[in-house]
Amino acid sequence: MGAGIKLFHLDLFQFVPRSIERLIVTRRFLSHGSGDHFVGIRFHRTSYRGQPQRLLAKSCGHQMGLPVTSKKYGANKPFDLSDWGRPIARVVARFLKDKRVSVIQVTNLHFLLTLFCAWLILQDQMVVACLLLIVKGVIDAVDGELARARERPSHVGRFWDTVADTIGLIALMFAFGKVLEWDLLLTFGMILAILFQYSLFNHFSIRLRASGSGDTTSRVDERQCPLAHPWEKQRNVQIFHTIYLLCFYWQDRIVSALTGRGSKHLKVELTSSSALGYGLQSIVFACLAVIERLDFLPTLVLGINNAIFAFAVLYSRLGNSSSLNDSNV
């Protein structure tokens, strides 16, 4: 161990779970490499008698670098057009907080619901399918809110959520293409356009979270595999991280190359790109289904949404912000 590194002093070591011990050793090693130093932390018998592991993680989370936060954007308060369902998601998350329901199970639920909606589209149940897709969007926000409510963020959950959403998107677009008689080129064009539009919104969202000490589970640059949290296995993180890199890293890099420093606090970029997010787009899709104009989808995605995409990119390149913390870019 390098000189100057301060070790954690743990009273009543038998009460500290092995995962917490492993996290301390890992963080101590990283601090040795970076030159950072920890201050001593003391656990007392009266504070932690019989308490679950997550409370220990909460108590030392900030000192260890854990992303302990209850808000997605931290101190920032952006106008996110796709975030309308989050208050509902928070209520559901609070209800599920002490229930035997895992965050991954919530992600699996909205994934299966998306596949069910694709099947409904093939059965020509367009309105029902599109209305259920709105419900899917709310459930999609529940998993993140549940992780924040329990103060147990998950890298596996973050990567699996992206993979599940993409598989669901592909299933939906092929279902729409079959019923609306799109050719294969148009179907692939729709999928690719929506993926880049989602990535742009996600890019600005992550940067804004980083600037406001918000949720840091997602990163703009995911090349380096993150360290597993005490409650997840490093091997699982590595597997899902590899899948993410193979499937999505290329589009993240393209979006990062297209965007600039951005305007102050990224307000314009975040708000405009949030119009491309699932929350708002699902409502637009449902409205088109109700008025029986789903044939307008290609014009919406490839025309209007791409114009919004171009505006957000250009505005970010013309912006002159120097106040935003882009440490994760």
- 253-294 pLDDT, tens per residue? 999 999 988 777 788 899 999 999 999 999 999 999 999 999
Distances (CA, A) of 214 to 115, 132, 153, 275, 325: 31, 29, 12, 21, 12
The span from the CA of 29 to the CA of 311, in Å, is 44
**Spatial CA neighbour of 195 closest among 247, 241, 145:** 247
What's the CA gap between 104 and 237, in Å, rounded? 13
Give the pTM. 0.73
pLDDT band of residue 215 (cuts 50, 70, 90) is low
Residue 74 confidence (pLDDT): 52
Question: Residue 316 pLDDT more than 50?
Answer: yes
- 233 compared with 71, residue with greater pLDDT: 233
Alpha helices in 212-305 (DSSP H): 234-258, 267-274, 278-290, 297-298
How many other CB atoms are there within 10 angstroms of residue 139's CB atom? 19
In angstroms, the CA 126 to CA 49 distance is 55
Q: Are 110 and 278 in contact (CB under 8 A)?
A: no
